[in-house]
Amino acid sequence: MKFICALCGYNYKSKEGDPENGVAPGTYFEDISDDWICPLCGASKEDFEVIEDEDDITDDEEF
Ligand SMILES: [Zn+2]
């Protein structure tokens, strides 16, 4: 699953988090505090788009 900022295209990755802004690596997007903003453009969480990515699981099985 991907979380993309609708304004600037920033891609939040839960594996990496956003340590510079108090979000530890491994934090699910849902668990980020509501006052967190996009580190690039300052958009709020509500401005992020959730993109289902079913290919995640099979990434390593491409021929
Ligand atoms: Zn942004």
Instruction: Give the pLDDT score at 41.
Output: 98
Ligand 1 centroid from CA 15, angstroms: 18
Ligand 1 centroid from CA 47, angstroms: 8
* Alpha carbon separation from 52 to 3, 24, 35, 40 (Å, rounded): 9, 22, 24, 22
In the predicted structure, residue 2 carries a pLDDT above the cut 60: yes
CA geometry: angle 15, 19, 22, nearest 5 deg: 120
User: Is the whole model's pTM more than 0.95, yes or no?
Assistant: no
- Strand partners for 52: none
57 three-state secondary structure? helix
pLDDT digits (tens, 9 = 90+) for 16-58: 999 999 999 999 999 999 999 999 999 999 999 999 877 655 5
